[in-house]
Amino acid sequence: MPAFPAAAREAVHDDTLRANLRHATHTIRDKRARAVTELADWDRLREAGRAVKDHTIRHLDHYLLRLEEAVTAAGGTVHWAADAAEANRIVTGLVLATGEREVVKVKSMATQEIGLNEALEAAGIAAYETDLAELIVQLGDDRPSHILVPAIHRNRGEIRDIFRTRMGDWGRPAPEDLDDTPAALAEAARLHLREKFLRAKVAVSGANFMVAETGTMVVLESEGNGRMCLTLPETLISVVGIEKVIPTFRDLEIFLQTLPRSSTAERMNPYTTMWTGLGPSKGADGDGPSAFHLVLLDNGRTDTLADEVGRQALRCIRCSACLNVCPVYERAGGHAYGSVYPGPIGAILSPQLRGTASEIDATLPYASTLCGACYEVCPVAIDIPEVLVHLRERVVQGGPVTREGLRVRIRPAAGHTAERAAMRAARLLLDHPGALRRAERVLARTRRFRPHRLPGAAGRAWTETRDLPPVPAESFRDWWTRERGGTR
């Protein structure tokens, strides 16, 4: 993956992509704002959500053990996965043990994070995405670019073309005369997917929440495809990040209000599916799988938990409100973030889950102007700008971090030597007002000789599209001394 600025450059100059993103993010951000102002107690809900999440991650060990107990008691099996490879191994093994070679999938960030589809494919198992947007991405051999709307970078015409050319390769083909109206596209997807739902014996999902008290898994989605996957197949395998646990059923009250309003600007979520343990074998109403496996995924989360400032990223409920208001995301597009988590939350989550060693992860904390729009909308009040600055510090100054459970001291990332020297020089100058004043005078005296375009990477970056501000003949400091004859 290239560094963020390089990846973003391409997107900035792709006019179709820019227009698609602009249209989509502006529409949904305006709707969200309206949906949120409807609630008089939004600030209290936000604070309550923050508090529940903070409390849970502070006592994560306790709640995870309770969850395991409750899930087991309800007839499920809990598996613990330390990293992506282990999680993939577990899921692949579970699918193979059923004798099946295909699975239907509910849209899930955790399975994308670990690259499950690829791992399944390598084991000869076909994984079918059933979320409309995920289907578009999968058929188009593309990568998702948004947490909630993975195909946000595509417009209707592009989607029609993808359906027409690729659906046949995966199953029921799209009608010959498919046009690009939403109804026609949705109907083509519905028919294509129905075939898969009715055949599937195994489903793979994630979860939005896991209730420790009852062992209940909760999935929110808008299309009903998730409910099909959660009720029709015989075996259900859910891969869930350990930070998704909440203590009690009652806590859902908060998030079932804040999540839909933040993500899709809806008052209530269209499909909220909850299941606790097993279906038919328990003699219940006959719905739901007869085998349930919960794979609890760490993959860098306990390391993140060890960081006092950065751990707040684990509060995230993946609503994607921060993406939709982020001016950088809007222009750079989701792919530039080099991770399944794009936008502001991606900029703080990925470098924590993966570490800051790679080029992309070292540049992600800088993929923000610190404008604060993300913090303002976040329904669990994650101070994303604070974490960004904290991670920048880690990149340029190094320091103690926890990696794979061990406390280690990382060295500053390479490539910041010149910047570090410049920051230090500037600080020395700024910390000596006498010297600062002399420097200002030199600047003023030589102002006529200043070139229009500056050399050096930083200089060029500024003067490529902008002029430098003109240097005044006299600094404020000198004006003050001249006018007021110095100070007391």
Could you say whether residue 392 binds another protein (CB under 8 A)? yes
Q: Which of 42, 170, 271, 366 binds another protein (CB under 8 A)?
A: 366
> Using the rule CB under 8 A, is 186 a contact of another protein?
no
With a CB cutoff of 8 Å and minimum separation 6, the contacts of 460 are: 453, 454
Residue numbers 39-78 binding ligand SF4 by CB under 6 A: none
How far apart CA 188 and CA 191 sit, in angstroms, is 5
**Strands of the 102-105 sheet, one edge to the other:** 77-81, 291-297, 235-241, 202-205, 102-105, 126-129
- Between residue 397 and residue 426, which ones bind another protein under the rule CB under 8 A? 397, 419-420, 423-424, 426
**Contact of residue 484 among another protein, ligand SF4, none (CB under 5-8 Å per partner type):** another protein
Go through 89-125 and write b for each residue having 16 or more CB atoms within 10 A of its CB, e for each that does not. Answer: ebbbebbeeeebebbbbbbbbbbbbbbbbebbeeeeb
Partners of 409 in the β-ladder:
400
Q: Which does 404 bind (CB under 5 to 8 A by kind): another protein, ligand SF4, none?
A: none
Classified as helix, coil or strand, 219 is: strand
Binding partner at 319 among ligand SF4, another protein, none, C-beta below 5 to 8 Å by kind: ligand SF4
User: Does 90 engage in binding with ligand SF4 (CB under 6 A)?
Assistant: no
Q: How far is CA 338 from the centre of its chain?
A: 11
Contacts of 99 (CB under 8 A, 6+ apart): none
Amino acid 408 reads V
Q: Per CB under 8 A, does 369 bind another protein?
A: yes
How many residues lie near another protein (CB under 8 A)?
66
User: Long-range contacts of range 30-38, CB-CB < 8 Å, 24 or more positions apart?
Assistant: 31/265, 32/261, 32/262, 32/263, 32/265, 32/321, 32/324, 32/377, 34/265, 35/261, 35/265, 35/266, 35/267, 36/261, 36/262, 38/261, 38/267
Rounded Cα distance between 358 and 275, Å, is: 39
- Of the candidate spans 240-248, 320-328, 460-468, 476-484, the one that interacts with ligand SF4 by CB under 6 A turns out to be 320-328
Neighbouring CB atoms inside 10 A of 487's CB total 6
**265 within 8 A of 32, measured Cβ to Cβ:** yes
> CA end-to-end span of the chain, whole Å?
57
Subset of 108-137 contacting another protein (CB under 8 A): none
Sign of CA dihedral 30, 32, 38, 44: negative
Helix (H) or strand (E) holding 400: strand 399-403
Query: Taking CB within 5 to 8 Å according to partner kind, which of ligand SF4, another protein, none is near residue 318?
Result: ligand SF4
Nearer to ligand SF4, 205 or 312 (CB): 312
Of 347 and 349, CB closest to another protein: 347
Residue 320's binding partner out of ligand SF4, another protein, none, with CB under 5 to 8 Å set by partner kind: ligand SF4
Structure tokens at 95: 């699918």
Least distance to another protein, CB of residue 29, Å: 10
The option from ligand SF4, another protein, none interacting with 411 (CB < 5 to 8 A, set by class) reads none
Between 171 and 372, name the residue whose CB sits nearer to another protein. Answer: 372
User: The tokens 């001016």 sit on which residue?
Assistant: 327
Q: Verify binding: residue 3, ligand SF4, rule CB under 6 A.
A: no
Indicate which single residue of 25, 320, 356, 363 sits in contact with ligand SF4 (rule: CB under 6 A): 320
DSSP state of 83: S
Q: Quick one: which segment of 74-82, 104-112, 315-323, 427-435 binds another protein (CB under 8 A)? A: 427-435
In the range 371-400, which residues lie near ligand SF4 by CB under 6 A? 377-380, 382
Return the residue of 345, 373, 396, 401 that touches ligand SF4, per CB under 6 A.
Answer: 345
Contact with another protein (CB under 8 A) among 409, 414, 466, 485: 466
Q: Does 440 participate in binding another protein (rule CB under 8 A)? A: yes
User: Which region, judged by CB under 8 A, interacts with another protein, from 89-97, 148-156, 272-280, 480-488?
Assistant: 480-488
- In the complex, which residues of this chain contact ligand SF4 (CB under 6 A)? 262, 316-322, 345, 377-380, 382
- In the complex, which residues of this chain contact another protein (CB under 8 A)? 4-5, 8-9, 12-13, 18, 327-328, 331-332, 363, 365-373, 375-376, 386, 389, 391-397, 419-420, 423-424, 426-427, 430-431, 433, 436, 440, 443, 457-458, 461-462, 464-469, 471-472, 474-477, 479-480, 484, 486-488
